[in-house]
Structure 1
Amino acid sequence: MSTQELFVAAARKCLCVGRKSLSLPQSLDLAAQVSAVDLGFKPALLYDSNSASSEKVQQYLSSLQSSQLVSKSLLTLDLNGNTLIVNPVTVRSDLEQVLCESSVAVIDVGHSLEKPTITDLLRVELKSMIQVLLLLLRGFEQLKEAEKPLYVGEKCQEWNLCTVFGLLLGYPVTYWFDQTKSFENCLSMTPLMVTTAAATWQAVPAGHRCCLYSFSVPAVLLEETQSNLEYWRLRLQRRFQQQNVLKDLTVCQTTVTLPSVCL
Protein backbone atom coordinates (compact mmCIF):
# COMPACT_ATOMS: atom_id res chain seq x y z
CA MET A 1 0.00 0.00 0.00
CA SER A 2 1.14 3.55 -0.70
CA THR A 3 1.64 6.13 2.03
CA GLN A 4 -1.65 7.78 1.05
CA GLU A 5 -3.52 4.46 1.20
CA LEU A 6 -2.06 3.60 4.62
CA PHE A 7 -3.15 6.96 6.08
CA VAL A 8 -6.65 6.66 4.62
CA ALA A 9 -7.06 3.04 5.75
CA ALA A 10 -6.04 3.93 9.32
CA ALA A 11 -8.51 6.83 9.44
CA ARG A 12 -11.40 4.77 8.11
CA LYS A 13 -10.66 1.85 10.41
CA CYS A 14 -10.02 3.70 13.67
CA LEU A 15 -12.11 6.87 13.47
CA CYS A 16 -15.55 5.52 12.58
CA VAL A 17 -18.49 6.85 14.57
CA GLY A 18 -21.35 4.40 14.26
CA ARG A 19 -21.31 3.27 10.65
CA LYS A 20 -19.94 6.53 9.31
CA SER A 21 -16.25 6.79 8.47
CA LEU A 22 -14.22 9.78 7.31
CA SER A 23 -14.43 10.74 3.65
CA LEU A 24 -11.34 10.63 1.44
CA PRO A 25 -10.80 14.44 1.58
CA GLN A 26 -11.21 14.39 5.39
CA SER A 27 -8.76 11.50 5.68
CA LEU A 28 -6.18 13.25 3.49
CA ASP A 29 -6.56 16.56 5.36
CA LEU A 30 -6.07 14.74 8.66
CA ALA A 31 -3.02 12.91 7.28
CA ALA A 32 -1.45 16.18 6.14
CA GLN A 33 -2.14 17.82 9.50
CA VAL A 34 -0.68 14.93 11.50
CA SER A 35 2.37 14.86 9.23
CA ALA A 36 2.86 18.59 9.86
CA VAL A 37 2.69 17.97 13.62
CA ASP A 38 5.19 15.12 13.33
CA LEU A 39 7.58 17.40 11.43
CA GLY A 40 7.32 20.07 14.13
CA PHE A 41 5.99 22.51 11.55
CA LYS A 42 2.77 22.56 13.56
CA PRO A 43 2.96 21.93 17.34
CA ALA A 44 -0.46 20.32 17.74
CA LEU A 45 -3.71 19.46 16.00
CA LEU A 46 -7.14 19.95 17.59
CA TYR A 47 -9.12 16.97 16.29
CA ASP A 48 -12.51 18.03 14.88
CA SER A 49 -13.00 15.82 11.81
CA ASN A 50 -15.92 14.08 13.53
CA SER A 51 -17.01 13.17 17.06
CA ALA A 52 -14.54 10.29 17.49
CA SER A 53 -13.38 9.89 21.11
CA SER A 54 -9.83 10.48 22.28
CA GLU A 55 -9.45 6.69 22.57
CA LYS A 56 -10.26 6.30 18.85
CA VAL A 57 -7.85 9.09 17.96
CA GLN A 58 -5.19 7.29 19.99
CA GLN A 59 -5.91 4.09 18.05
CA TYR A 60 -5.48 6.02 14.81
CA LEU A 61 -2.21 7.53 16.00
CA SER A 62 -0.93 4.14 17.21
CA SER A 63 -1.78 2.63 13.83
CA LEU A 64 0.25 5.32 12.05
CA GLN A 65 3.13 4.78 14.44
CA SER A 66 3.06 1.01 13.92
CA SER A 67 3.25 1.58 10.16
CA GLN A 68 6.16 4.00 10.73
CA LEU A 69 4.24 6.82 9.06
CA VAL A 70 4.85 9.12 12.03
CA SER A 71 7.25 9.02 14.96
CA LYS A 72 6.43 7.35 18.26
CA SER A 73 6.99 10.61 20.14
CA LEU A 74 3.55 12.03 19.22
CA LEU A 75 0.82 11.79 21.85
CA THR A 76 -2.92 12.16 22.18
CA LEU A 77 -3.99 14.74 24.75
CA ASP A 78 -7.50 14.86 26.21
CA LEU A 79 -8.43 18.27 27.62
CA ASN A 80 -11.85 18.03 29.22
CA GLY A 81 -13.19 15.92 26.35
CA ASN A 82 -11.34 17.84 23.61
CA THR A 83 -8.75 15.78 21.74
CA LEU A 84 -5.41 16.99 20.44
CA ILE A 85 -2.54 15.22 18.69
CA VAL A 86 0.62 16.81 20.07
CA ASN A 87 4.30 16.98 19.26
CA PRO A 88 5.54 17.26 22.88
CA VAL A 89 9.01 18.53 21.98
CA THR A 90 7.69 21.37 19.80
CA VAL A 91 4.90 22.30 22.23
CA ARG A 92 7.30 22.32 25.18
CA SER A 93 9.72 24.55 23.29
CA ASP A 94 6.90 26.94 22.34
CA LEU A 95 5.51 27.12 25.88
CA GLU A 96 8.93 27.74 27.39
CA GLN A 97 9.40 30.58 24.92
CA VAL A 98 6.06 32.11 25.93
CA LEU A 99 7.20 32.08 29.56
CA CYS A 100 10.58 33.63 28.79
CA GLU A 101 9.78 36.07 26.01
CA SER A 102 6.02 36.72 26.16
CA SER A 103 5.86 35.78 22.46
CA VAL A 104 2.05 35.37 22.56
CA ALA A 105 -0.37 38.26 22.99
CA VAL A 106 -3.43 37.52 25.17
CA ILE A 107 -6.55 39.37 24.02
CA ASP A 108 -9.45 39.90 26.41
CA VAL A 109 -12.72 39.57 24.47
CA GLY A 110 -15.09 39.58 27.45
CA HIS A 111 -18.72 40.29 26.58
CA SER A 112 -18.85 43.40 28.81
CA LEU A 113 -16.02 45.17 26.94
CA GLU A 114 -16.69 47.80 24.29
CA LYS A 115 -13.85 46.40 22.20
CA PRO A 116 -11.19 43.67 22.55
CA THR A 117 -8.05 44.64 24.40
CA ILE A 118 -4.62 43.16 25.10
CA THR A 119 -4.28 42.22 28.74
CA ASP A 120 -1.33 41.58 31.03
CA LEU A 121 -3.58 40.86 33.99
CA LEU A 122 -3.50 37.13 33.23
CA ARG A 123 0.24 36.72 33.51
CA VAL A 124 0.02 34.75 36.80
CA GLU A 125 -2.89 32.62 35.58
CA LEU A 126 -1.24 31.99 32.22
CA LYS A 127 2.07 31.09 33.83
CA SER A 128 0.35 28.58 36.10
CA MET A 129 -1.43 26.93 33.13
CA ILE A 130 1.78 26.69 31.14
CA GLN A 131 3.72 25.21 34.05
CA VAL A 132 1.11 22.47 34.53
CA LEU A 133 1.23 21.65 30.81
CA LEU A 134 5.03 21.55 30.87
CA LEU A 135 5.02 19.13 33.81
CA LEU A 136 2.62 16.84 31.93
CA LEU A 137 4.71 16.93 28.76
CA ARG A 138 7.98 16.33 30.59
CA GLY A 139 6.42 13.34 32.30
CA PHE A 140 5.32 11.94 28.96
CA GLU A 141 8.74 12.38 27.38
CA GLN A 142 10.12 9.91 29.94
CA LEU A 143 7.89 7.21 28.44
CA LYS A 144 8.93 5.37 25.29
CA GLU A 145 5.46 5.36 23.77
CA ALA A 146 1.95 6.25 24.95
CA GLU A 147 -0.65 3.49 24.71
CA LYS A 148 -3.58 5.64 25.78
CA PRO A 149 -4.49 9.35 25.73
CA LEU A 150 -2.94 11.66 28.29
CA TYR A 151 -5.86 12.97 30.33
CA VAL A 152 -5.50 16.38 31.94
CA GLY A 153 -8.76 15.92 33.85
CA GLU A 154 -9.42 18.10 36.89
CA LYS A 155 -6.33 20.21 36.29
CA CYS A 156 -8.06 22.01 33.41
CA GLN A 157 -11.54 22.44 34.90
CA GLU A 158 -10.97 26.14 35.59
CA TRP A 159 -8.87 26.87 32.52
CA ASN A 160 -10.19 28.92 29.65
CA LEU A 161 -9.79 26.30 26.93
CA CYS A 162 -9.92 28.91 24.18
CA THR A 163 -6.73 30.40 25.65
CA VAL A 164 -5.10 26.98 26.08
CA PHE A 165 -5.88 25.93 22.51
CA GLY A 166 -4.26 29.10 21.18
CA LEU A 167 -1.11 28.29 23.15
CA LEU A 168 -0.96 24.62 22.14
CA LEU A 169 -1.68 25.29 18.47
CA GLY A 170 1.18 27.76 18.22
CA TYR A 171 -0.80 30.93 17.49
CA PRO A 172 0.88 34.32 18.06
CA VAL A 173 -2.30 35.58 19.76
CA THR A 174 -4.87 33.84 21.91
CA TYR A 175 -8.27 34.93 23.17
CA TRP A 176 -9.46 35.03 26.78
CA PHE A 177 -12.76 35.84 28.46
CA ASP A 178 -14.01 35.46 32.02
CA GLN A 179 -16.00 32.25 31.71
CA THR A 180 -17.30 32.59 35.26
CA LYS A 181 -19.35 35.55 34.03
CA SER A 182 -20.22 34.65 30.45
CA PHE A 183 -19.12 32.52 27.50
CA GLU A 184 -20.15 35.28 25.10
CA ASN A 185 -17.63 37.71 23.65
CA CYS A 186 -17.40 41.25 22.21
CA LEU A 187 -16.31 40.20 18.71
CA SER A 188 -19.73 40.59 17.10
CA MET A 189 -19.43 42.91 14.05
CA THR A 190 -15.78 43.53 14.93
CA PRO A 191 -13.45 43.53 11.90
CA LEU A 192 -11.06 40.58 12.24
CA MET A 193 -7.93 39.94 10.25
CA VAL A 194 -7.80 36.21 9.58
CA THR A 195 -4.37 34.73 8.87
CA THR A 196 -4.16 31.33 7.16
CA ALA A 197 -1.10 29.26 6.29
CA ALA A 198 -1.41 26.48 3.73
CA ALA A 199 0.98 24.01 2.11
CA THR A 200 0.96 21.05 -0.25
CA TRP A 201 1.42 17.58 1.24
CA GLN A 202 3.57 15.62 -1.18
CA ALA A 203 2.61 12.08 -0.06
CA VAL A 204 -0.27 12.25 -2.55
CA PRO A 205 0.97 11.84 -6.16
CA ALA A 206 -0.83 14.96 -7.37
CA GLY A 207 -0.20 16.79 -4.08
CA HIS A 208 -2.86 17.63 -1.48
CA ARG A 209 -3.35 21.28 -0.53
CA CYS A 210 -4.18 21.76 3.14
CA CYS A 211 -4.75 24.70 5.49
CA LEU A 212 -2.43 24.13 8.46
CA TYR A 213 -2.98 27.34 10.47
CA SER A 214 -5.92 29.69 10.79
CA PHE A 215 -6.36 32.35 13.48
CA SER A 216 -7.74 35.86 13.78
CA VAL A 217 -6.70 39.18 15.30
CA PRO A 218 -9.09 42.10 15.86
CA ALA A 219 -8.16 44.74 13.28
CA VAL A 220 -8.11 47.40 16.00
CA LEU A 221 -5.18 45.56 17.63
CA LEU A 222 -3.08 44.92 14.52
CA GLU A 223 -0.49 47.54 15.36
CA GLU A 224 -0.08 46.31 18.93
CA THR A 225 0.29 42.67 17.87
CA GLN A 226 2.46 43.27 14.81
CA SER A 227 5.68 42.09 16.49
CA ASN A 228 3.96 38.85 17.62
CA LEU A 229 2.64 38.21 14.11
CA GLU A 230 6.01 38.90 12.48
CA TYR A 231 7.85 36.65 14.92
CA TRP A 232 5.33 33.87 14.23
CA ARG A 233 5.75 34.26 10.46
CA LEU A 234 9.56 34.13 10.63
CA ARG A 235 9.52 31.07 12.88
CA LEU A 236 7.00 29.37 10.56
CA GLN A 237 9.22 29.97 7.54
CA ARG A 238 12.27 28.68 9.42
CA ARG A 239 10.49 25.47 10.41
CA PHE A 240 9.17 25.02 6.89
CA GLN A 241 12.68 25.17 5.47
CA GLN A 242 13.79 22.38 7.81
CA GLN A 243 11.58 19.72 6.19
CA ASN A 244 10.84 18.36 2.70
CA VAL A 245 7.43 16.69 3.11
CA LEU A 246 5.44 19.89 2.62
CA LYS A 247 6.00 22.42 -0.16
CA ASP A 248 4.59 25.69 -1.54
CA LEU A 249 3.92 27.46 1.75
CA THR A 250 1.57 30.44 1.47
CA VAL A 251 0.46 32.83 4.21
CA CYS A 252 -2.65 34.88 3.40
CA GLN A 253 -4.63 37.51 5.27
CA THR A 254 -8.24 38.54 4.82
CA THR A 255 -10.53 40.76 6.84
CA VAL A 256 -13.97 39.55 7.90
CA THR A 257 -16.79 40.98 9.96
CA LEU A 258 -19.29 38.51 11.40
CA PRO A 259 -22.59 38.96 13.30
CA SER A 260 -21.36 36.42 15.88
CA VAL A 261 -18.07 34.69 16.61
CA CYS A 262 -17.97 31.35 18.42
CA LEU A 263 -14.79 30.69 20.40
Structure 2
Amino acid sequence: MSAQELFVTAAHTFLSAGKKSLSIPKSLDLFAQVLAVDLGLKPSLLYDSNSATAEQVQQYLSSLQSSQLVSKSLLTLDLNGNTLIVNPATVRLNIEQLLHGDSVAVIDVCHSLEKPTLSETLRGELKTIAQDVLILLRGCEHLREAEKPLTAGDKCEEWNLCTVFGLLLGYPVTYWFDQNKSFENCLSMTPLSVTTASATWQVMGEGHRCHLFSFSIPADLLVDTQCNLKNWNVCLQERFQQQNVLTDLTVCQTLVTLPSVCL
Protein backbone atom coordinates (compact mmCIF):
# COMPACT_ATOMS: atom_id res chain seq x y z
CA MET A 1 0.00 0.00 0.00
CA SER A 2 1.38 3.41 -0.99
CA ALA A 3 1.77 6.28 1.48
CA GLN A 4 -1.19 8.03 -0.16
CA GLU A 5 -3.38 4.98 0.27
CA LEU A 6 -2.28 4.64 3.91
CA PHE A 7 -3.42 8.08 5.06
CA VAL A 8 -6.66 7.93 3.08
CA THR A 9 -7.39 4.49 4.53
CA ALA A 10 -6.55 5.71 8.04
CA ALA A 11 -9.06 8.56 7.73
CA HIS A 12 -11.78 6.24 6.40
CA THR A 13 -11.09 3.59 9.04
CA PHE A 14 -10.87 5.69 12.18
CA LEU A 15 -12.69 8.97 11.57
CA SER A 16 -16.14 7.85 10.44
CA ALA A 17 -19.01 9.57 12.24
CA GLY A 18 -22.13 7.44 12.03
CA LYS A 19 -22.31 6.11 8.49
CA LYS A 20 -20.32 9.01 7.05
CA SER A 21 -16.60 8.85 6.37
CA LEU A 22 -14.29 11.57 5.11
CA SER A 23 -14.09 12.05 1.35
CA ILE A 24 -10.74 11.59 -0.39
CA PRO A 25 -10.24 15.39 -0.80
CA LYS A 26 -10.99 15.95 2.91
CA SER A 27 -8.69 13.06 3.84
CA LEU A 28 -5.90 14.64 1.80
CA ASP A 29 -6.47 18.06 3.32
CA LEU A 30 -6.51 16.64 6.85
CA PHE A 31 -3.24 14.80 6.35
CA ALA A 32 -1.64 17.91 4.85
CA GLN A 33 -2.68 19.82 7.97
CA VAL A 34 -1.26 17.13 10.25
CA LEU A 35 1.92 17.16 8.18
CA ALA A 36 2.21 20.93 8.70
CA VAL A 37 1.91 20.38 12.46
CA ASP A 38 4.54 17.65 12.34
CA LEU A 39 6.89 19.94 10.39
CA GLY A 40 6.49 22.65 13.02
CA LEU A 41 4.88 25.08 10.58
CA LYS A 42 1.88 25.31 12.87
CA PRO A 43 1.74 24.26 16.53
CA SER A 44 -1.66 22.56 16.50
CA LEU A 45 -4.63 21.57 14.40
CA LEU A 46 -8.16 21.95 15.70
CA TYR A 47 -10.04 18.94 14.31
CA ASP A 48 -13.36 20.00 12.80
CA SER A 49 -13.74 17.76 9.74
CA ASN A 50 -16.71 15.95 11.28
CA SER A 51 -17.98 14.89 14.70
CA ALA A 52 -15.38 12.16 15.29
CA THR A 53 -14.41 11.84 18.96
CA ALA A 54 -11.03 12.57 20.51
CA GLU A 55 -10.49 8.82 20.84
CA GLN A 56 -11.11 8.36 17.10
CA VAL A 57 -8.69 11.16 16.25
CA GLN A 58 -6.12 9.52 18.53
CA GLN A 59 -6.56 6.20 16.70
CA TYR A 60 -6.13 8.02 13.38
CA LEU A 61 -2.96 9.72 14.60
CA SER A 62 -1.57 6.47 16.04
CA SER A 63 -2.16 4.78 12.69
CA LEU A 64 -0.17 7.50 10.89
CA GLN A 65 2.60 7.19 13.47
CA SER A 66 2.73 3.40 13.19
CA SER A 67 3.05 3.76 9.41
CA GLN A 68 5.88 6.29 9.99
CA LEU A 69 4.02 8.96 8.05
CA VAL A 70 4.41 11.44 10.95
CA SER A 71 6.59 11.49 14.05
CA LYS A 72 5.58 9.90 17.33
CA SER A 73 6.00 13.19 19.20
CA LEU A 74 2.56 14.43 18.09
CA LEU A 75 -0.30 13.98 20.52
CA THR A 76 -4.06 14.42 20.72
CA LEU A 77 -5.45 16.96 23.18
CA ASP A 78 -9.06 16.94 24.36
CA LEU A 79 -10.24 20.31 25.67
CA ASN A 80 -13.78 19.98 26.95
CA GLY A 81 -14.87 17.96 23.91
CA ASN A 82 -12.75 19.90 21.40
CA THR A 83 -9.96 17.86 19.81
CA LEU A 84 -6.57 19.13 18.71
CA ILE A 85 -3.54 17.40 17.22
CA VAL A 86 -0.55 19.06 18.86
CA ASN A 87 3.17 19.40 18.26
CA PRO A 88 4.34 19.81 21.89
CA ALA A 89 7.76 21.22 20.97
CA THR A 90 6.29 23.98 18.78
CA VAL A 91 3.60 24.83 21.34
CA ARG A 92 6.22 25.07 24.09
CA LEU A 93 8.36 27.36 21.93
CA ASN A 94 5.40 29.65 21.24
CA ILE A 95 4.45 29.74 24.93
CA GLU A 96 8.00 30.56 25.99
CA GLN A 97 8.03 33.46 23.52
CA LEU A 98 4.72 34.64 24.98
CA LEU A 99 5.93 34.40 28.58
CA HIS A 100 9.12 36.34 27.82
CA GLY A 101 7.55 39.00 25.62
CA ASP A 102 4.42 40.28 23.95
CA SER A 103 4.18 37.90 21.00
CA VAL A 104 0.38 37.54 21.30
CA ALA A 105 -2.06 40.44 21.59
CA VAL A 106 -5.35 39.91 23.44
CA ILE A 107 -8.47 41.56 22.03
CA ASP A 108 -11.51 41.99 24.28
CA VAL A 109 -14.66 41.36 22.24
CA CYS A 110 -17.22 41.30 25.05
CA HIS A 111 -20.78 41.83 23.84
CA SER A 112 -21.17 44.86 26.14
CA LEU A 113 -18.40 46.79 24.37
CA GLU A 114 -19.11 49.20 21.53
CA LYS A 115 -16.11 47.87 19.62
CA PRO A 116 -13.21 45.40 20.08
CA THR A 117 -10.43 46.68 22.35
CA LEU A 118 -6.83 45.67 22.98
CA SER A 119 -6.36 44.70 26.62
CA GLU A 120 -3.09 44.74 28.53
CA THR A 121 -4.87 43.43 31.63
CA LEU A 122 -6.01 40.27 29.86
CA ARG A 123 -2.45 39.56 28.69
CA GLY A 124 -1.71 38.53 32.28
CA GLU A 125 -4.62 36.09 32.22
CA LEU A 126 -3.36 34.68 28.92
CA LYS A 127 0.07 34.09 30.42
CA THR A 128 -1.49 32.26 33.36
CA ILE A 129 -3.36 29.96 30.97
CA ALA A 130 -0.16 29.51 28.94
CA GLN A 131 1.68 28.34 32.06
CA ASP A 132 -1.12 25.85 32.79
CA VAL A 133 -0.85 24.47 29.25
CA LEU A 134 2.92 24.21 29.64
CA ILE A 135 2.50 22.17 32.82
CA LEU A 136 -0.02 19.94 31.04
CA LEU A 137 2.38 19.26 28.16
CA ARG A 138 5.30 18.58 30.49
CA GLY A 139 3.27 15.80 32.04
CA CYS A 140 3.53 13.78 28.80
CA GLU A 141 7.21 14.43 28.03
CA HIS A 142 8.20 10.97 29.25
CA LEU A 143 5.82 9.25 26.84
CA ARG A 144 7.39 7.97 23.63
CA GLU A 145 3.97 7.73 22.05
CA ALA A 146 0.60 8.70 23.51
CA GLU A 147 -1.95 5.89 23.63
CA LYS A 148 -4.95 8.03 24.51
CA PRO A 149 -5.89 11.71 24.25
CA LEU A 150 -4.34 14.09 26.74
CA THR A 151 -6.98 15.99 28.71
CA ALA A 152 -6.84 19.13 30.81
CA GLY A 153 -9.61 17.83 33.07
CA ASP A 154 -11.60 20.30 35.14
CA LYS A 155 -8.94 22.97 34.71
CA CYS A 156 -10.03 23.85 31.18
CA GLU A 157 -13.55 24.65 32.39
CA GLU A 158 -12.08 27.84 33.87
CA TRP A 159 -10.50 28.82 30.56
CA ASN A 160 -12.02 30.86 27.77
CA LEU A 161 -11.50 28.24 25.06
CA CYS A 162 -11.61 30.86 22.30
CA THR A 163 -8.54 32.47 23.90
CA VAL A 164 -6.83 29.10 24.38
CA PHE A 165 -7.43 28.09 20.77
CA GLY A 166 -5.76 31.29 19.59
CA LEU A 167 -2.76 30.40 21.74
CA LEU A 168 -2.56 26.74 20.70
CA LEU A 169 -3.11 27.45 17.01
CA GLY A 170 -0.24 29.92 16.96
CA TYR A 171 -2.12 33.12 16.11
CA PRO A 172 -0.48 36.51 16.76
CA VAL A 173 -3.75 37.73 18.31
CA THR A 174 -6.43 35.97 20.29
CA TYR A 175 -9.96 36.97 21.27
CA TRP A 176 -11.39 37.07 24.79
CA PHE A 177 -14.88 37.62 26.16
CA ASP A 178 -16.41 37.25 29.61
CA GLN A 179 -18.05 33.85 29.25
CA ASN A 180 -19.62 34.19 32.71
CA LYS A 181 -21.80 36.97 31.31
CA SER A 182 -22.33 36.05 27.67
CA PHE A 183 -20.89 33.99 24.83
CA GLU A 184 -21.87 36.68 22.34
CA ASN A 185 -19.35 39.21 21.02
CA CYS A 186 -19.18 42.70 19.54
CA LEU A 187 -17.74 41.68 16.16
CA SER A 188 -21.04 41.95 14.29
CA MET A 189 -20.65 44.31 11.31
CA THR A 190 -17.10 45.09 12.42
CA PRO A 191 -14.64 45.28 9.49
CA LEU A 192 -12.17 42.43 9.97
CA SER A 193 -8.83 41.90 8.28
CA VAL A 194 -8.59 38.15 7.67
CA THR A 195 -5.08 36.74 7.28
CA THR A 196 -4.73 33.39 5.52
CA ALA A 197 -1.61 31.36 4.87
CA SER A 198 -1.57 28.46 2.43
CA ALA A 199 0.96 26.18 0.76
CA THR A 200 1.16 23.45 -1.87
CA TRP A 201 1.69 19.77 -1.14
CA GLN A 202 2.60 17.42 -3.99
CA VAL A 203 0.46 14.29 -3.66
CA MET A 204 -0.80 11.73 -6.16
CA GLY A 205 1.07 13.57 -8.91
CA GLU A 206 -0.78 16.82 -8.30
CA GLY A 207 -0.30 19.96 -6.24
CA HIS A 208 -2.80 19.98 -3.37
CA ARG A 209 -3.38 23.49 -1.99
CA CYS A 210 -3.93 23.51 1.77
CA HIS A 211 -4.66 26.26 4.29
CA LEU A 212 -2.20 26.52 7.17
CA PHE A 213 -3.67 29.49 9.05
CA SER A 214 -6.74 31.69 9.01
CA PHE A 215 -7.42 34.33 11.65
CA SER A 216 -8.94 37.78 11.86
CA ILE A 217 -8.00 41.12 13.40
CA PRO A 218 -10.44 44.04 13.66
CA ALA A 219 -9.38 46.52 11.00
CA ASP A 220 -9.33 49.39 13.52
CA LEU A 221 -6.68 47.51 15.53
CA LEU A 222 -4.38 46.62 12.64
CA VAL A 223 -1.94 49.43 13.38
CA ASP A 224 -1.78 48.51 17.08
CA THR A 225 -1.13 44.83 16.32
CA GLN A 226 1.15 45.35 13.32
CA CYS A 227 4.25 44.32 15.30
CA ASN A 228 2.60 41.04 16.38
CA LEU A 229 1.50 40.29 12.83
CA LYS A 230 4.91 41.12 11.36
CA ASN A 231 6.76 38.91 13.87
CA TRP A 232 4.32 36.06 13.23
CA ASN A 233 4.90 36.35 9.48
CA VAL A 234 8.69 36.39 9.84
CA CYS A 235 8.61 33.34 12.11
CA LEU A 236 6.37 31.44 9.66
CA GLN A 237 8.67 32.28 6.74
CA GLU A 238 11.71 31.06 8.71
CA ARG A 239 10.05 27.77 9.66
CA PHE A 240 8.87 27.27 6.10
CA GLN A 241 12.40 27.62 4.76
CA GLN A 242 13.60 24.88 7.13
CA GLN A 243 11.55 22.18 5.36
CA ASN A 244 11.08 21.01 1.77
CA VAL A 245 7.82 19.08 1.93
CA LEU A 246 5.43 21.98 1.36
CA THR A 247 6.11 24.67 -1.24
CA ASP A 248 4.78 27.99 -2.50
CA LEU A 249 3.86 29.63 0.80
CA THR A 250 1.35 32.45 0.29
CA VAL A 251 0.14 34.86 2.97
CA CYS A 252 -2.65 37.27 2.10
CA GLN A 253 -5.14 39.58 3.76
CA THR A 254 -8.75 40.32 2.88
CA LEU A 255 -11.28 42.65 4.46
CA VAL A 256 -14.67 41.24 5.45
CA THR A 257 -17.70 42.50 7.35
CA LEU A 258 -20.16 39.93 8.66
CA PRO A 259 -23.59 40.24 10.30
CA SER A 260 -22.47 37.78 12.98
CA VAL A 261 -19.17 36.14 13.98
CA CYS A 262 -19.12 32.85 15.87
CA LEU A 263 -16.06 32.31 18.08
- Fold shared, TM-score > 0.5 on shorter chain: yes
Alignment identity in percent?
A: 75
Q: Which amino acid aligns with 1:78?
A: D
Alpha-carbon distance, 1:124 to partner: 3.1
| 2:234 aligned residue | 234
| 2:94 aligned residue | 94
Q: SS state of the match for residue 7, structure 1?
A: helix
Whether the 8 Å contact between 1:3 and 1:203 is mirrored in structure 2 is: no
| 2:215 aligned residue | 215
* Structure 2 CA distance for aligned equivalents of residues 53 and 251 of structure 1: 32
* Structure 2 CA distance for aligned equivalents of residues 127 and 37 of structure 1: 23
Alpha-carbon distance, 1:158 to partner: 1.3
* Structure 1 CA distance for aligned equivalents of residues 244 and 41 of structure 2: 11
| 1:254 aligned residue | 254
| 1:35 aligned residue | 35
Q: SS state of the match for residue 202, structure 1?
A: strand
| 1:62 aligned residue | 62
Larger CA deviation: 202-211 vs 154-163: 202-211
| 1:8 aligned residue | 8
Whether the 8 Å contact between 1:72 and 1:145 is mirrored in structure 2 is: yes
Answer yes or no: is 1:107 the counterpart of 2:135.
no
What are the ranges of 5 or more consecutive residues in structure 1 without an aligned counterpart? none
* Structure 2 CA distance for aligned equivalents of residues 12 and 58 of structure 1: 14
Answer yes or no: is 1:162 the counterpart of 2:162.
yes
Q: SS state of the match for residue 196, structure 1?
A: strand
TM-score (structure 1 length as normaliser): 0.98
Answer yes or no: is 1:44 the counterpart of 2:57.
no
Residue correspondence of structure 1 range 48-197 to structure 2 within 5 A: 48-197=48-197
* Structure 1 CA distance for aligned equivalents of residues 195 and 127 of structure 2: 26
Deviation beyond 2 Å, 4+ runs, structure 1: none
Whether the 8 Å contact between 2:105 and 2:123 is mirrored in structure 1 is: no
Whether the 8 Å contact between 2:106 and 2:123 is mirrored in structure 1 is: no
Whether the 8 Å contact between 1:79 and 1:152 is mirrored in structure 2 is: yes
* Structure 1 CA distance for aligned equivalents of residues 135 and 220 of structure 2: 36
* Structure 2 CA distance for aligned equivalents of residues 233 and 72 of structure 1: 28
* Structure 1 CA distance for aligned equivalents of residues 175 and 189 of structure 2: 16
Q: SS state of the match for residue 18, structure 1?
A: coil
* Structure 1 CA distance for aligned equivalents of residues 204 and 254 of structure 2: 28
TM-score (structure 2 length as normaliser): 0.98
Q: Which amino acid aligns with 2:260?
A: S
Query: How many residues in Structure 1 have an aligned counterpart in Structure 2?
Result: 263
The superposition leaves residues 23-51 of structure 1 with CA deviations (integer Å, 9 ceiling, x where unpaired) of 11110110000000000011000000000
* Structure 2 CA distance for aligned equivalents of residues 175 and 123 of structure 1: 11
Q: Which amino acid aligns with 1:197?
A: A
Alpha-carbon distance, 1:113 to partner: 0.6
Whether the 8 Å contact between 1:203 and 1:245 is mirrored in structure 2 is: no
